Amino acid sequence: MQPLFIADHLALDFINSAYGVKPNHVEHLNHDEQVIAWLRDAKVLSENSHLPLVKKPGQLLKSALYLRENARELLLLRSRQLAGDATLINQLLARSSAYQQIVWQAPDTPELVQHRNFLTLEDVLIPVAESIASLLVEGNFALIRKCENPECSLWFYDKTKSHQRRWCSMAVCGNRMKVAAFRARKTDTNAVD
Binding stretches for Zn ion (CB under 5 A): 147, 149, 152, 154, 168, 173
Cβ-based nearer residue to Zn ion, 18 or 39: 18
Cβ-based nearer residue to Zn ion, 120 or 149: 149
CB of 83 to Zn ion, least distance (A): 29
Q: Give how far the C-alpha of residue 30 lies from the chain's centroid of Cα atoms, to the nearest Å.
A: 16
> Can you tell me the distance from the alpha carbon of 118 to that of 95, in angstroms, rounded to the nearest whole number?
9
CB of 176 to Zn ion, least distance (A): 8
Count of residues making up the chain? 193
CB of 154 to Zn ion, least distance (A): 5
Cβ-based nearer residue to Zn ion, 119 or 181: 181
Cβ-based nearer residue to Zn ion, 38 or 167: 167
Residue 60 is given by DSSP the state: H
Q: What region, left, alpha or beta, does residue 163 occupy, with left being phi > 0 and alpha being psi -120 to 50 degrees?
A: left
Residue 98 is given by DSSP the state: -
Which amino acid does the sequence have at 167?
W
CB of 172 to Zn ion, least distance (A): 6
> Can you tell me the distance from the alpha carbon of 155 to that of 143, in angstroms, rounded to the nearest whole number?
10
